[in-house]
A and B are shown apart, each in its own frame.
Chain A
Amino acid sequence: MSVPAIETRGLVKRFGSTAAVDGIDLDIAQGGIYGVLGPNGAGKTTAIRMLATLLRPDAGEARVLGHDVFTEPKAIREKIALTGQFASLDEDLTGIENLMLLGRLLGYNARQAKVRGMTLLDAFGLTEAAARQVKKYSGGMRRRLDIAGSLIVTPQLMFLDEPTTGIDPRSRNQVWDIIRTLVAGGTTILLTTQHLEEADQLADRIAVIDTGKVIAEGTPGQLKAQVGTGALKVRVADPARREEAAAILGRTLRAEVLRESDPAALTVRLEDESRAAAALIALQDSALAVETFALGQPSLDEVFLALTGHKTAPEATDGATADAQEEAA
């Protein structure tokens, strides 16, 4: 059995009187993707920065790939790569210059660093942008270059702090593909995200963090079982027939139907997603025109509500709503 990728006990970091990370215990095995899910300000970035030896913990213990963060930071730095929340790139430099810079620091000579940089740019589809300054890159291109920069030498453990925040859905899918590819290549990945969908898509295990504490930990399936499978959102074409639709849904799904503030919208908590098809057929049989019929995963909001009994911070709520809309569209 190999050493764990990450092992922490009672990890604490305070900024002034507030504890950004307030006693976190993590046990993360090597291999696969571990997701850290939480709203803005939950302490995700602070935790990652401590594990990546950028920030000294105030209390607790942490070992990364078997090395103590307090006494062996250099050994850790030799095995990890970090992709920060805001692109960890030099915006004034070009794409190839960024990779050459990192290549030379990691021990390649100038010529080798250039070859290595061009190889990576090619693999990430950035050859044409090689000589362009990074500040002129799109969000998706930046992310890819950022990840390429973490792969000059293959890290044993890679930290990805909100890798898809602020990029469009197509680039997001590309980044997801890249992440899966890296894991297949044997790298362990720790990624943070604000979106349950992202954690669900990628992670083998998830820790949910709120106000500096781990409030739930497990496989995506275990977490979702705690929250309930999801929700069916229906919007009828004619608001006048909403009650009729509510009755049909209630009958076919045997669940409580919530009337939204939108006079045409209904939401049903689902115990069993497979019954949703039967509900759609029942509506059709009654000649009820439906504008929207969407089966959604519980949003981060709902996960939080279920796990903590309180709502997420306003910023995170916005993000979750935007995602729900994206899914419905």
Chain B
Amino acid sequence: MTTTAQDQNQRIRSVLVPADQRPAPAGAVSASLTYGWRALLKIKHIPEQLFDVTVFPIMMTVMFTYIFGGAIAGSVDGYVQWLIPGIFVQTMIMITMYTGLTLNRDISKGVFDRFRSLPTWRPAQLVGALLGDQVRYVLAGTIILGVGFLMGFRPEGGMVGVLMAFVLLLVFSFSLSWVWTVISLLVRTEQAAMGISMFIMMPLTFASNIFVDPATMPSWLQGAVEVNPVSVVVTAIRELMAGVGQFSSVTLVLVYCAVLIGVFGPLSMYFYNRKS
């Protein structure tokens, strides 16, 4: 026992890195990507956390199309062309809420104390988590569009239009995630984070142009629907998928993205640094 203990101590001493041989800490991009890698490892080890990005989108797409299709557009076939881009947006932004929930659980653990004591760019811990979630968003988006195609969705914009819409939506989802990040840092429990997120999300998705043409709504509501960021995104996505992408619509979405990140990014860091 004594000899093995001495052996081990000798081994430990021999693997210590002299101070002048340590590398420079990872930069902002590299650190963010490393935290993103951690998020992917988590998916690998806990694949059941993909439930929300696989089953949920299928359910939403099938349910809304068949339940509302006939009533709203007269036929399911006609409604699919209108609805799929909308459902695509709705489901994706719903899924971004889980980013906040995961973060709320994650940062309460001891490992985040260690992360915060490392000499790396601090926002990387949050940016990386959100980057890792992009993989989940891609998976969810692919499933929604796949189901949509099966149900007869045939966008005029073709593959290129759909891909451009997809990329734009990923950018928006990343930007929107910062809102949930702030909420998850402010509340104590996951349930509270979920409750507040739903409270914001429900009116935003339903008082939009996702399900019905705003022309059918009372005029006071039309005004609200038009400035609703969700409507703005849905419009840009529909246009891109239909092959009639407007530079102005895309720009407007990107402006919204910049505002979301510009406001909620620093807020997130402010609360994150003060979280005890």
What residues of chain A have their CB less than 8 Å away from a CB belonging to chain B?
Answer: 15, 49, 52-56, 74, 77-78, 80-94, 97, 101-102, 104-108, 112, 119-120, 122-125, 133, 149, 151-154, 156, 173-174, 177-178, 180-182, 184-185
Contact check, A92 vs B46: say whether CB atoms are below 8 A apart. yes
Is B15 located at the chain interface by the 8 A CB criterion?
Answer: yes
What residues of chain B have their CB less than 8 Å away from a CB belonging to chain A?
Answer: 5, 8-9, 11-19, 22-26, 30-31, 34, 37-38, 41-42, 45-46, 109-111, 113-120, 274, 276
Jot down 11 A-B pairs with beta carbons below 8 A, ordered by A. Answer: A52-B117, A54-B276, A85-B110, A86-B109, A101-B37, A102-B118, A105-B26, A105-B31, A106-B25, A108-B23, A153-B17
Contact check, A120 vs B22: say whether CB atoms are below 8 A apart. no
Contact check, A120 vs B15: say whether CB atoms are below 8 A apart. yes
Contact check, B45 vs A133: say whether CB atoms are below 8 A apart. yes
**Contacts A105-B120, A108-B23 given: A184-B13 contact, CB under 8 Å?**
yes
Contact check, B5 vs A177: say whether CB atoms are below 8 A apart. yes
Contact check, A74 vs B13: say whether CB atoms are below 8 A apart. no
A92 vs B37: C-alpha distance in the bound complex, in angstroms?
A: 13
Contact check, B34 vs A104: say whether CB atoms are below 8 A apart. yes
Contact check, A97 vs B41: say whether CB atoms are below 8 A apart. yes
Contact check, B8 vs A125: say whether CB atoms are below 8 A apart. yes
Give B79 Cβ to nearest chain A Cβ, in Å.
42
Contact check, B5 vs A174: say whether CB atoms are below 8 A apart. yes
Give B14 Cβ to nearest chain A Cβ, in Å.
7
Give A151 Cβ to nearest chain B Cβ, in Å.
6
Which residue of A is nearest B31, CB measured? A105
**B23: chain A residues within 8 A (beta carbon):** 106-108, 112, 153
Q: Which residue, of B37, B114, B119, has the highest number of chain A Cβ atoms within 10 A?
A: B114
**Contacts A93-B45, A177-B9 given: A101-B117 contact, CB under 8 Å?**
no
Question: Top 5 A-B pairs ranked by shortest CB distance?
Answer: A107-B23, A88-B114, A153-B22, A77-B119, A78-B119
**Contacts A82-B113, A88-B113 given: A123-B11 contact, CB under 8 Å?**
yes
**A80: chain B residues within 8 A (beta carbon):** 117
Contact check, A105 vs B34: say whether CB atoms are below 8 A apart. yes
Looking at the complex, which one of A54, A87, A90, A106 makes contact with B22 (CB distance below 8 Å)? Answer: A106
Which residue of B is nearest A153, CB measured? B22
Which residue of B is nearest A104, CB measured? B34
Contact check, B110 vs A53: say whether CB atoms are below 8 A apart. no
Contact check, A181 vs B12: say whether CB atoms are below 8 A apart. yes
A104 vs B118: C-alpha distance in the bound complex, in angstroms?
A: 11
Contact check, B117 vs A181: say whether CB atoms are below 8 A apart. no
**Contacts A77-B118, A78-B25, A82-B113 given: A178-B9 contact, CB under 8 Å?**
yes
**Contacts A88-B110, A123-B12, A124-B12 given: A106-B118 contact, CB under 8 Å?**
yes
Give B220 Cβ to nearest chain A Cβ, in Å.
45
Contact check, A93 vs B38: say whether CB atoms are below 8 A apart. yes
A184 vs B12: C-alpha distance in the bound complex, in angstroms?
A: 11
Contact check, A87 vs B110: say whether CB atoms are below 8 A apart. yes
**B34: chain A residues within 8 A (beta carbon):** 101, 104-105
A83 vs B276: C-alpha distance in the bound complex, in angstroms?
A: 16
Contact check, A92 vs B24: say whether CB atoms are below 8 A apart. no
**A81: chain B residues within 8 A (beta carbon):** 117
A56 vs B116: C-alpha distance in the bound complex, in angstroms?
A: 13
**B274: chain A residues within 8 A (beta carbon):** 56
A226 vs B233: C-alpha distance in the bound complex, in angstroms?
A: 72
**A102: chain B residues within 8 A (beta carbon):** 114, 118
**B118: chain A residues within 8 A (beta carbon):** 77, 102, 105-106
A78 vs B17: C-alpha distance in the bound complex, in angstroms?
A: 14
Contact check, A122 vs B113: say whether CB atoms are below 8 A apart. no
Contact check, A107 vs B22: say whether CB atoms are below 8 A apart. yes
Give B66 Cβ to nearest chain A Cβ, in Å.
38
Give A176 Cβ to nearest chain B Cβ, in Å.
10
Which residue of B is nearest A98, CB measured? B111
**A177: chain B residues within 8 A (beta carbon):** 5, 8-9
Give A17 Cβ to nearest chain B Cβ, in Å.
16
A87 vs B11: C-alpha distance in the bound complex, in angstroms?
A: 23
Contact check, A90 vs B111: say whether CB atoms are below 8 A apart. yes
Which residue of A is nearest B120, CB measured? A105
**B41: chain A residues within 8 A (beta carbon):** 92-93, 97
Beyond the given pairs A74-B119, A93-B41, A97-B41, 7 more chain A to chain B contacts, judged by CB atoms under 8 angstroms and listed by A's residue number, are A53-B116, A54-B113, A54-B276, A88-B113, A104-B37, A119-B15, A124-B12
Looking at the complex, which one of B19, B38, B116 makes contact with A90 (CB distance below 8 Å)? Answer: B38
A261 vs B34: C-alpha distance in the bound complex, in angstroms?
A: 60
A102 vs B120: C-alpha distance in the bound complex, in angstroms?
A: 11
Contact check, A154 vs B16: say whether CB atoms are below 8 A apart. yes
A108 vs B14: C-alpha distance in the bound complex, in angstroms?
A: 19
**B115: chain A residues within 8 A (beta carbon):** 105
Contact check, A154 vs B26: say whether CB atoms are below 8 A apart. no
**A182: chain B residues within 8 A (beta carbon):** 12, 16
Contact check, B42 vs A181: say whether CB atoms are below 8 A apart. no
A123 vs B276: C-alpha distance in the bound complex, in angstroms?
A: 34
**B25: chain A residues within 8 A (beta carbon):** 78, 105-107
A249 vs B176: C-alpha distance in the bound complex, in angstroms?
A: 77
Looking at the complex, which one of B8, B18, B24, B31 makes contact with A154 (CB distance below 8 Å)? Answer: B18
**Contacts A105-B34, A123-B14 given: A86-B5 contact, CB under 8 Å?**
no
**Contacts A104-B30, A105-B120 given: A84-B110 contact, CB under 8 Å?**
yes
Looking at the complex, which one of A55, A105, A123, A174 makes contact with B15 (CB distance below 8 Å)? Answer: A123
**B37: chain A residues within 8 A (beta carbon):** 101, 104
**A119: chain B residues within 8 A (beta carbon):** 15
**A133: chain B residues within 8 A (beta carbon):** 45
Contact check, B13 vs A181: say whether CB atoms are below 8 A apart. yes
